[in-house]
Amino acid sequence: MILVGVAAIDRQSRVSCALAVHGEGIGLGERKPFRQTRQPAWVRENWAVGRGYDGVKPRQLPPPEKLEIKFYYMADCQKPEWAGVTRPNIFMPRRASRLTLELTEVRVQRLQDISDEDALAEGVNTDNPLSRPCLSWSPYQVTDLRWRYLLLWEHINGKGTARENPWVWTLSFTVHQQNIDAFLKAREAAT
């Protein structure tokens, strides 16, 4: 699930680094931004390639099949020595995506109606609100998962924003640990 304002992807282990989601028809400024369920979107992450490609624009990188290009993703936290300059998620090429989201449900709710289960899906847990060792921000020692999420919301969106209790789009999705093109090809073959 993604609540507008904080993005967290639940893979085998929780990931709650800032991520951007890219997919046709997905936009938060629209009245009805999500057309249908099963709509795929690929996750863009902060990334890097080998140091030898630091000056090369993303669209000019050779295909990974032709040269041995590895992609490193900042959400993995341990940057290897071979990785070059970290690049922002907005410049991540589609072929480098490793996570595809399949939209399963869209609903509208008030922010404060978040459940403990939803807060866990957002990446908040009892050990650390961001549940990632590479992220150091930690709010007060609050054990209630809902309140931890609301504190995180205010940390990101500003003091008092959780108290305003805004309406938010709540998205539920299935995470597929594969590139979007591979996902679409497999889905097409299955039909």
Q: Please check whether residues 106 and 75 belong to one and the same domain.
A: no
111-160 pLDDT, tens per residue? 999 988 888 888 786 665 444 444 444 444 445 888 888 888 888 888 88
Q: What is the pTM of this model?
A: 0.64
Q: Please check whether residues 120 and 79 belong to one and the same domain.
A: no
Q: Please check whether residues 175 and 145 belong to one and the same domain.
A: yes
Q: Please check whether residues 151 and 57 belong to one and the same domain.
A: no
Q: Please check whether residues 64 and 11 belong to one and the same domain.
A: no
How far is 175 from 13, CA to CA, in rounded Å? 12
Report pLDDT for 29. Answer: 42
User: How many domains does the chain divide into?
Assistant: 2
Does residue 23 or residue 172 have the better pLDDT?
Answer: 172
Q: Please check whether residues 175 and 88 belong to one and the same domain.
A: no
Report pLDDT for 34. Answer: 56
Mean pLDDT confidence for 77-81: 89
pLDDT band at 82 (very low <50, low <70, confident <90, very high): very high
Does residue 47 or residue 134 have the better pLDDT?
Answer: 47
Report pLDDT for 122. Answer: 83
Please check the confidence at residue 99 and state whether its pLDDT lies above 50.
Answer: yes
DSSP symbols for the chain: -EETTB--EESSSEE-S--EEE-TT--TTSSS----TT-EEEEE--EE-BGGGTTS-GGGSPPTTTTT---EEGGG----TTB-S-B-GGG--GGG---EEEEEEEEEEEGGG--HHHHHHTT--SS-TT--TT-----S----HHHHHHHHHHHHH-TTTTTT--EEEEEEEEEESS-HHHHHHHHHHH-
Q: What angle do CA 180, 184, 190 make, to 5 degrees?
A: 145
Q: Please check whether residues 122 and 174 belong to one and the same domain.
A: yes
Please check the confidence at residue 95 and state whether its pLDDT lies above 70.
Answer: yes
Q: Please check whether residues 76 and 31 belong to one and the same domain.
A: no
How far is 65 from 35, CA to CA, in rounded Å? 34
Does residue 164 or residue 17 have the better pLDDT?
Answer: 164
Q: Please check whether residues 88 and 180 belong to one and the same domain.
A: no
Q: Please check whether residues 165 and 106 belong to one and the same domain.
A: yes
Mean pLDDT confidence for 71-89: 91
Q: Please check whether residues 68 and 135 belong to one and the same domain.
A: no
Q: What angle do CA 24, 103, 18 make, to 5 degrees?
A: 80
Mean pLDDT confidence for 92-107: 88
Mean pLDDT confidence for 78-93: 92
User: Whole domain around residue 178: which residue ranges?
Assistant: 2-45+98-190
Place of tokens 């847990």: 125
